């Protein structure tokens, strides 16, 4: 029986995985598909926005000075010079004392430097408009480049594109963006006892939960997933499967076979590659001691525990933060009971969130046997107790990372 070769803390493991994570490739992506993608090189505005002075109201384009002193009782009389149509050049140049109808978004005509809202005007006759309120220069006007100047940095590398960002890029005429490609991740379940979900287990067999659950978790992280057939505890077959999966993916997740057990051979298979370097084997974490990381050339292989609850928890805490382009969501709330913890080990405890009677959130740890699949399905998130902590007290404010 092997021992764990290189046991590290949770924080050390995360850092090792981060340092050895495959580099993100970048791709050019049409803007229409780019929501959620992460910008791979700084984006500079190719032009000014707006490209011309525009009215932000429906009303009359004027020279502000012509409206000074006007009021409800003493309106300014302006000469009507015509109408600016949407989607057309202004085509008018105002002389002092003239105004022109301008719709919201319409182009400001020459000679004008402000717009008066229609509510404060009255069209008296075909050729006269009354203005009941003065406007200052550039009032109700969006000036050229006021939104975005030309040659301005709009989004820095690393920014995740949201719908409004897509909108800003579209308004600048940008049709394609350089973004980071999603990671390709292979998933292999191992173990003689594992059978496909579609099959009826005979006694002593369990269904291959990890292939489906890890693929689902990977999808939510934005990764492309390749599932491979279940591999029994057979060195040669495992080696063949790992060979293929490493060539087809950036990251390989293996579940089962990383525990200290007679038939565990994942580590042996991974370390047989000449370019393999062991990052860690064994994690001072509950649940999930039997987790391992091996860098193989530019690829990364992560061995997760065979038990689905541990496998998913370990994926959440060690893989998800590296694959996702955005941080996890969390909530704060008050623990409703004491939580014991063993020092020298990081504990991750599934919890439920409930509205507290006096406002705020109550955090309720789910403390059944760690192997219960139903516990994770009941949980809203988890609480992390660091390896230097001895536990948490009832009433303490804690951070809950949401699933």
CA angle 225, 227, 230 (to 5 degrees): 155
Q: How far apart are CA 9 and CA 11, in angstroms?
A: 5
Smallest distance from its own copies to CB 273, Å: 27
Helices and strands (H and E) in the chain: how many: 8, 28
> With respect to its own copies, which residue has the nearer C-beta, 243 or 330?
330
Smallest distance from its own copies to CB 356, Å: 15
Smallest distance from its own copies to CB 298, Å: 27
> With respect to its own copies, which residue has the nearer C-beta, 197 or 340?
197
* 30 SS3 class: strand
194 to 80, 186, 230: CA distances (angstroms): 83, 18, 7
> With respect to its own copies, which residue has the nearer C-beta, 16 or 230?
230
Smallest distance from its own copies to CB 217, Å: 4
> With respect to its own copies, which residue has the nearer C-beta, 160 or 178?
160
359 to 231, 334, 362, 366, 401: CA distances (angstroms): 50, 11, 9, 22, 20
Smallest distance from its own copies to CB 164, Å: 4
Give the residue among 179, 169, 178 at the shortest CA–CA distance from 46.
169
> With respect to its own copies, which residue has the nearer C-beta, 31 or 64?
31
Type and span of the H or E element at 187: strand 184-189
Smallest distance from its own copies to CB 19, Å: 26
273 to 38, 217, 294: CA distances (angstroms): 33, 28, 10
Paired tokens of 209: 């939960």
Smallest distance from its own copies to CB 402, Å: 9
- How many Cβ atoms are within 10 Å of 84's Cβ, its own excluded? 22
> With respect to its own copies, which residue has the nearer C-beta, 27 or 377?
377
> With respect to its own copies, which residue has the nearer C-beta, 65 or 376?
376
370 to 310, 311, 313: CA distances (angstroms): 8, 12, 11
């Amino acid at each position: 029986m092997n021992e764990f070769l290189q046991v590290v803390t949770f924080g050390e493991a995360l850092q090792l995985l981060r340092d050895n994570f495959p580099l993100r490739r970048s791709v050019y992506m049409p803007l229409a598909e780019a929501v959620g993608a992460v910008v791979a090189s700084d984006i500079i505005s190719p032009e000014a926005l707006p490209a011309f002075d525009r009215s932000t109201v429906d009303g009359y384009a004027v020279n502000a000075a012509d409206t000074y002193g006007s009021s409800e009782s003493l309106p300014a009389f302006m000469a009507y010079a015509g109408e600016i149509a949407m989607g057309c050049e202004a085509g008018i140049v105002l002389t002092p004392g003239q105004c022109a109808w301008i719709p919201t978004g319409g182009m400001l005509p020459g000679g004008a430097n402000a717009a008066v809202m229609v509510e404060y005007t009255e069209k008296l006759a075909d050729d006269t408009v009354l203005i009941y309120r003065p406007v200052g220069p550039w009032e109700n006007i969006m000036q050229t480049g006021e939104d975005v100047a030309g040659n301005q940095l709009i989004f820095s590398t690393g920014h995740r594109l949201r719908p409004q960002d897509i909108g800003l890029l579209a308004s600048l005429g940008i049709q394609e963006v350089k973004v980071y490609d999603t990671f390709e991740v292979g998933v292999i379940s191992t173990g003689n006892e594992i059978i496909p979900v579609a099959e009826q287990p005979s006694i002593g067999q369990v269904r291959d939960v990890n292939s489906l659950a890890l693929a689902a978790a990977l999808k939510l992280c934005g990764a492309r997933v390749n599932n491979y057939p279940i591999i029994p505890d057979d060195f040669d077959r495992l080696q063949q499967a790992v060979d293929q999966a490493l060539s087809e993916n950036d990251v390989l997740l293996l579940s089962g076979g990383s525990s200290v057990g007679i038939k565990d051979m994942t580590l042996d298979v991974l370390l047989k590659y000449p370019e393999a370097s062991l990052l860690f084997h064994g994690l001072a974490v509950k649940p999930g001691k039997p987790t391992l990381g091996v860098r193989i050339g530019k690829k990364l292989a992560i061995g997760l525990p065979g038990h689905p609850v541990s496998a998913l928890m370990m994926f959440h805490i060690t893989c998800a933060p590296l694959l996702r382009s955005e941080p996890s969501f969390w909530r704060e709330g008050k623990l409703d009971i004491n939580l014991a913890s063993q020092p020298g080990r990081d504990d991750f405890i599934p919890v439920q969130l409930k509205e507290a009677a006096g406002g705020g959130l109550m955090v309720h740890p789910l403390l059944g046997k760690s192997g219960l699949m139903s516990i994770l399905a009941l949980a809203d998130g988890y609480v992390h107790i660091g390896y230097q902590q001895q536990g948490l007290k009832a009433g303490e404010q804690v951070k809950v990372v949401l699933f």
